[in-house]
Amino acid sequence: MIRVLLADDHAVVRDGLRALLEAQADIEIVGEAANGREAVRQVHDLNPDVLVMDIAMPELNGIEATQQLHDALPSTQVLILSMHSTTEHIFRALQAGARGYLLKDSAGSEVVDAIRVVHTGRRYLSHKIAAGVIDDYSCAFTAASGHPVHPDPVFHQRQRRYSTGWRKREDAGAGMKLTMTSAGSIVSGFRLPEIIHPRRRLGTRVFDFSRQVAVMAIVNRTPDSFYDKGRTFGLDEAIASANTAIADGADWVDIGGVPFAPGPEVTVTEEMDRVVPVIEALSGHDEIVISVDTFRPEVARRCIGAGAHVINDTSGLRDVAMARVVADSAASLVITHSLSPPRRAYPRPRYVDVVSEVVEFLRNKAEVAGGCGLPVERIIIDPGLDLNKNTCHSLELIRRLDEIAAIGLPLLVAVSNKDFIGETLDREQGHRLEGSLAAAVACIVQGARIVRMHDVAAAVAVVRLTEAILGFRKPAFVRHNAE
């Protein structure tokens, strides 16, 4: 059941919407508001799934109300109603956090379709806007088309999307002709994925992965890490490294106590002794997501109790009990593709089509996790670059990463200082920064929304600029040739 709050200052509009929505078996009206402030208050009190709101509300307009609600209540999606179809109005609404923009004279069936689409976290743009020519605007944005959508579990795979802000066409007159693609959306030539429930709460942080990329820092309390060779094995060194990463702008810190690569056995007690004190030391940083790289359910349970928000399982859910442990908590789970058990050699891996096989693996494992009670909005996937893959496999995965992103779950990539970079560029460890950053950008523009990186300050700068190029964020300021 989709719980909807109606907000419009005209009673006749609310009456019409109420009559329309009460006839829908899957929609329940939980409240109504006649001004923006009342709408915000009721959203906080009722926590509806969808707020349908007029853009020109008294006391607090629809855009201002949306902005206030965007960070506070990520589970409520906002559908703006408006008499205006200019790109500036639409852009401002979407930038504020609205998931959809609908003209007030839209057909009743389209209103219902729009509510069902934005409820899943996808963008929706009115038929009459998406099918015509709209005013030029200097920033790109992405929005879903108004094609009728059947409310079945996989409709998002068939949903078509439109985008503006690319190039003017000769037949578009003074404006810009909207163009259509059948898989994901395109902004300035980049294909962006459809993401199931893109707004995720991880710890106290809220991420909108439809327009945001998170930088994950790496802290390994291992003596045999492939990158730092034990530099952060000591507790004080590990905590200091994490604090430096936070100061450098990391959104997320991933703590590991056992490398994936072959090596000597590390007991459960040893692993807990390595990672739990770091979690406890970082628990005071409310702005940071804390994850633990582990394949053991018992370690995961202890780490979640200590304050971890995410379990990063590089074994690919080899032990199904891991999904049950995470499902019993508020934590999220990263499912990574791999073939061998951790710490075991897997020489000369063979694939018929590495991308198709990774996609099938991740889809199946996500279904397994769901069957264990883990909601889809708490599942993240990782193709496992270099894990039981050679350099050619990893390059092919990046080349066709959009096929993995099309699964629809937030996509994490661990590219930093990997061997595929060293072998491609003939660079030893310590000399792979440029390759790591290039790989991160290539992944982001094909749908990756979390990048796991060692050099945090450089990664943050590259990620934020890539977000701006994709139209996810505004520049910090605009001065050059602005006057």
The predicted structure's pLDDT at residue 166: 22
Return the sign of the alpha-carbon dihedral for residues 390, 395, 400, 403. positive
pLDDT value for 76: 86
pLDDT at 147: 32
Average pLDDT over the chain, rounded to an integer: 83
Phi, psi (rounded to 5 degrees) for 254: -105, 120
Task: Respond yes or no: is residue 452 known to be catalytic.
Answer: yes
State the number of CA atoms in the 13 A half-sphere of 374 facing the CB.
Answer: 27
Residues 367, 346: Cα–Cα separation, whole Å: 26
pLDDT at 274 over 80: yes
Band the pLDDT of 237: cuts 50, 70, 90.
very high
Q: Which of 221, 418, 432, 449 is catalytic?
A: 418
Is pLDDT at 92 greater than 70 in this prediction?
Answer: yes
- Using 50, 70 and 90 to split pLDDT, how confident is the model at 192? confident
Tokens describing residue 389 = 């893959």
* Annotation marks residue 365 as catalytic: no
In whole angstroms, give the CA distance from residue 400 to residue 381: 15
| Separation in Å, CA 18 to CA 6, 10, 66 | 8, 12, 21
Determine the Cα–Cα distance for residues 138 and 135; give it in Å rounded to an integer: 10
Buried b (16+ CB within 10 A) or exposed e, 182-213: ebbbbbeebbbbbbbbbbbbbbebbbbbbbbb
For position 262, what pLDDT does the model report?
82
Q: Which of 200, 378, 432, 452 is catalytic?
A: 452
